[in-house]
Amino acid sequence: MSTLALTVNRRAVDCRPEPRTSLADVVRDHLDLTGTHLGCEHGVCGACTVLIDGVPARSCITFAAACEGAAVTTIEGLDDDEIAAELRAAFTREHALQCGYCTPGMLVSARDLVLRLPDADEKQVRIGMSGNLCRCTGYVGIVRAVMSVIADRRARGIGPEAGGGRTMLGPVGSGHGATQADVRVAATPAAASAVGARQTVTISDFTPSVTIEQAFEAQHSPALVAALFNDVAAVAACLPGVVLTNAADPNLIEGEIRVQVGPIAAQFAGIARIERADDVMSGRIIGTGNDRRSRSSTQGEIRYRLSPLAGGAATRVDLTIGYTLTGLLAQVGRSGLVRDLARRLVDQFAGNLEHKLSGEAVVPTGADQHLNGLALLLGLITARLRRWLGGTSRR
């Protein structure tokens, strides 16, 4: 049993929990900080919410061992916190608690909203607090309390903090692992004093959980294909559901990809880094994105290599697509189905690429277009039925 070193409520702590012990059990049973409550113990109700490196997290489903070196703040650690004090007063004033069992987690989550939201938007407050369940109040008083604190602070000239004080995107506590696949965000001096300040972003390498290899041929010379691959906007126009939101830096772009599979819709917003070989015949696009609605995250990379065919009159494009998906969408992303869908997506991309190189119109892929996984899925099922029926008739 190894020693676990944490900073809990600004105090260095060493303990020796079992490897399977949750962070909630450590703070309650080992450190006697029983203000962190256990409700569902499945990460659903939010009663156990604490701050890990300043970010709200479910301590009942967080292994304590994964927090080695992290700074943990429980409700007891917010006794002297200015925002928490204002929230406690507002909860009392707005009758936002009854039995009080959910209240510690509510206060921790509400504090994060007060830090981040630019104004007292009821819809955003309800969305932000939706991960904290209460059986008593009906939520009206809770929402009013959070909104009143936000409105009061903004009226006093206290603006929101960009990212709620976060210095890293990715899984909570990910900055303390020996290896990690994260997006490091270093705030510029302007970010400390102004909302919406630009940030310097670097994207770390990662090991994909799923890798798909695919190839297609373009009936144009490698030089023409390479020139198109160097045009970020042109490539995005060939990809279904992709919208660029910032391509000022050709090597670091921001954008969205919109996906819809039946009733499940996702809009992944993120950034990507583009790398090109000196001979421009190969390269890599690596990026990360998040969908707030489904609380899903993805990291992905596309590696490409161009090879001349037919004496240089045509080009073979070899693609290696790798990704890691977490969250709700990962539960429906079966690897076999994803591989088949990816092949069809590459076929669609290849067709659009051919149209683009030939100067023909490309199928619209802009803001009003989704990557329609349902249509692709139906096409996939139809193709498989045809193959099956064809095999049956031959037999």
Domain termination residue (choose one: 77, 92, 118): 77
Overall pTM surpassing 0.85 (yes/no): no
60 part of a folded domain: yes
Task: Specify the number of domains making up the chain.
Answer: 3
Domain termination residue (choose one: 163, 198, 218): 163
Q: Which residues contact 137 (CB under 8 A, 6 or more apart)?
A: 95, 96, 97, 98
Q: The domain that contains 133 carries what CATH number? A: 1.10.150.120
Q: Are residues 104 and 124 in the same domain?
A: yes
Q: Are residues 245 and 368 in the same domain?
A: yes
Q: Are residues 55 and 99 in the same domain?
A: no
Q: Are residues 224 and 353 in the same domain?
A: yes
Q: Are residues 368 and 267 in the same domain?
A: yes
Could you report the per-residue pLDDT of 10-66, keeping only the tens digit for each? Answer: 898 888 899 899 999 999 999 999 999 999 999 999 999 999 988 899 999 999 988
Alpha-carbon gap, residue 317 to 309, rounded angstroms: 10
Q: Are residues 291 and 382 in the same domain?
A: yes
pLDDT at 332: 55
Q: Are residues 140 and 255 in the same domain?
A: no
Pairing of strands 282-291, 264-276: antiparallel
Helix, strand, coil share (%) of the chain residues, nearest 5: 35, 30, 35
Q: Which residue(s) pair with 9 in the sheet?
A: none
262 part of a folded domain: yes
User: For residue 46, which amino acid is it?
Assistant: G
Q: Where are the beta strands (DSSP E) in the chain?
A: 4-8, 11-15, 49-52, 55-58, 71-73, 168-169, 183-187, 199-203, 210-218, 242-249, 252-261, 264-276, 282-291, 296-309, 314-326, 371-372
Q: Are residues 381 and 305 in the same domain?
A: yes
Q: Are residues 296 and 385 in the same domain?
A: yes
pLDDT at 94: 95
Could you report the per-residue pLDDT of 316-348, keeping only the tens digit for each? Answer: 999 888 877 766 666 555 555 556 666 667 778
User: For residue 202, which amino acid is it?
Assistant: T
131: exposed, middle or buried (Cβ count in 10 Å: 0-12, 13-18, 19+)? middle
Q: Are residues 216 and 264 in the same domain?
A: yes
Domain termination residue (choose one: 163, 198, 224): 163
Alpha-carbon gap, residue 149 to 153, rounded angstroms: 6
Domain, as residue range, for 111: 81-163
Average pLDDT of the chain? 79
Q: Are residues 42 and 145 in the same domain?
A: no
Could you report the per-residue pLDDT of 63-100, keeping only the tens digit for each? Answer: 998 888 888 999 999 999 999 999 999 999 999 999 99
3-state secondary structure of 135: coil
